[in-house]
Structure 1
Amino acid sequence: MSSWRSIAGWWLLALLVAAGLASLGAWQLGRMHQKQALLDAVQQVLDQRTPQPLALAADVARTRDYDWASGAGRFTDAPAVLLDNQQRDDRPGVRVYRVFQPAATGAAPLLVELGWLPLPGDRQLPGVPRPSGEVQVAGLLAPPPSHGILAAVVAEQPTGQLLATGLDAPALRDRLRQPSLAPRVLRLDPALPLGYARDLDVLPNTLPPERHLGYAVQWFALALAVLAIAALLTFRKRKPDKTTQ
C-alpha cells in the first residue's frame, strides 16, 4: 500500500510540474502569435504606404494601431527627448525624438523619431540640433516604445534635453511645454534625408516571434521530460527485485 501511495505522490507532483511548464509554453506560443500578427499588420501598411494626415496621430481610437502618414510642418523649440537603453548593432545608444507641429489646422503636435545615436563609454549625451524651417515628413505612425511594467522616468539634463526611460505622452506633455501631445509617434521614413540612423523595426530590443516559438518548444519538452521521469520511476518501483526471489 505504501508503494502505491509513493507512486501516486510522484505522479501528482509530476502532473503539477508538467502542467506549470506546459502553461509557460502556451504563454510563449500566445506571444509568438501576437507578435507575428503585429508584424503582418505593419508589413501590410508598409507595402501599401497609403498616406494619411498627420492629425491621425491624435486619434485615441487608434492609439495601438499603425498607419503611414505624411505632411508638412515645423519642429518646435521644445527640448529634444532622448530615449535611453536603445541597442543598435549591439551598441548602446539613444533614440532621438523632437516635437513636430503639423501645418494642418487643428492638428496636435506629435513626437517624431529622428533616429538612433550611439553613447560613448562616459554616457555623454549627443547634441541634437533642431531642423529649421518647414519640412515635409513621412513615416510610420506607431505606438511609442513600451517601457514595460515600470513607470517611465524623465530627467532634464544640463543641456536642456530630456533623457527618458519611456515615452509617456501625458507625462511628457508638461515637460515639453505642450498644450497637447498625440499618443502616437511618427517613425520617420529611413529614406528621408533627415535625422540619423534608423529603421522601421517595430520590435526593437525585444524577442521576435521565432524566439518565442523556441522557448515554447523548450517548455513543452521539459513538461514531457518530467512525465517521462515519473513513468521511469514508476516502472522501476513496480519492477520485482530479483535478489529477493
Structure 2
Amino acid sequence: MSRYSFRPTLIPTLATLALLPLLLSLGLWQLDRAAQKEAAMAARESGLAEALLDLNNAPPAAEQAIHRRALAHGRYDTAHQFLVDNQIVQGRVGYQVLTPLRLDEGRAVLVSRGWLPAPSRRDQLPELAVAETPRRVEGTLAAGPSVGLRVGEASVEQGWPRRVQYMDYEYFNASLPYRVLPYVLQLDPSAEDGYRREWGATEFGPERHRGYAVQWFSLAAALVLIYLLVNLRRRGDADHE
C-alpha cells in the first residue's frame, strides 16, 4: 500500500457524501420497522392472553384497550355505516366496513366487519345489509384500518353509507347521534355478519425488514469501498498529475 496514495476528487466525494447518509438512513429505517413489528406482535400476543373485556361495563381507555379481546352486547345501527376508502387486499382496491354497535342510548363501538372489494364505478357503493336484532359480538380491539397520508377532511360526503379517507374519531362523533368509543372492535373471523377478515396478517414480518436493512448497509459499505478504490493513485502516477 506504500506505493499508493489516497487523492479524493470532487465528483466522487460529492456523490459519496450525498448517497452514504441516504443508504444508512434507509437501513436504520428498516431496523426500526422490524422493531415496531416485533413490538406490535408482542403486544397482540399479550393482549390476547388477558381476560376478555366487557365494553358494556366500564369500557377501557384507548391506551389500555388496543390488542385486547373484548365482547359487546347491542344492536347494529345499519343506517349509519362507514367505508374506509383505499384499502388494498391482494392488489385490489376496496373498503373496510365500520358499523356502529349501539351499547346503550349514548354510546356505541364501531365494529370492523371486514373488507369488501369496491364496485367498478366510483358512484356505486357495496350493499351492507345486516340485521338490527340484539346480538353478542366478540373480537379484538384495534385503532382501526391503516391509511396513508391524512390529507384534507376525513369525508366530504353526506349520504350513507359514507366513505371516509382515514380514521378520525372526532369526525365519527360529529356525524353520529351518539358517542363512539375511541377504538374499533375487529369482528372475529368466524362470526357472522362479516366480510373478508385477516386481522393481524402482514405482508411480511420483522425478519424481512432486517434482510432489507442488511441490503442497504451492504450497499453503503460497497459505496465506501468504491470511493476508496476510485481515489487511490499510484505514487508515480499521482506525482505526474
Trace 1:89-108 onto structure 2 (pairs within 5 A). 89-102=90-103, 108=107
Superimposed CA distance per residue, residues 52-111 of structure 1 (whole angstroms, 9 cap, x where no aligned partner): 112565514436x321001311112541101111122332211111111225x98x3111
Superimposed CA distance per residue, residues 173-218 of structure 1 (whole angstroms, 9 cap, x where no aligned partner): 112232x221110000011122222121265xx7643443233222
Question: Does the residue aligned with 2:29 lie in a helix, a strand or coil?
Answer: helix
| 1:176 paired residue number | 176
Moved more, 112-121 or 212-221: 212-221
| 2:32 paired residue number | 30
Superimposed CA distance per residue, residues 112-141 of structure 1 (whole angstroms, 9 cap, x where no aligned partner): 011111123224211112421110100000
Distance 2:86 2:14 in 1: 44
Distance 2:201 2:177 in 1: 28
Deviation at 1:8, TM superposition (A): 7.0
Question: Does the residue aligned with 2:28 lie in a helix, a strand or coil?
Answer: helix
Distance 1:181 1:39 in 2: 26
Deviation at 1:12, TM superposition (A): 7.4
Change (3 A) 1:239 1:110: farther
Distance 1:17 1:156 in 2: 45
Distance 1:222 1:136 in 2: 54
Structure 2 segments unaligned to the other structure (5+ residues) = none
Trace 1:49-198 onto structure 2 (pairs within 5 A). 50-55=51-56, 59-62=61-64, 65-102=66-103, 108-123=107-122, 124-151=124-151, 153-156=154-157, 158=159, 160-178=160-178, 180-198=179-197
Distance 2:20 2:236 in 1: 28
Q: Which amino acid aligns with 1:125?
A: L
User: More helix by proportion, 1 or 2?
Assistant: 1
Moved more, 209-218 or 163-172: 209-218
Change (3 A) 1:230 1:5: closer
Distance 1:41 1:190 in 2: 20
TM-score normalised by length of structure 1: 0.80
Q: Is the 8 A contact 1:82 1:164 kept in 2?
A: yes
Q: Which amino acid aligns with 1:101?
A: R
Residue correspondences, number: 232
Moved more, 192-201 or 51-60: 51-60
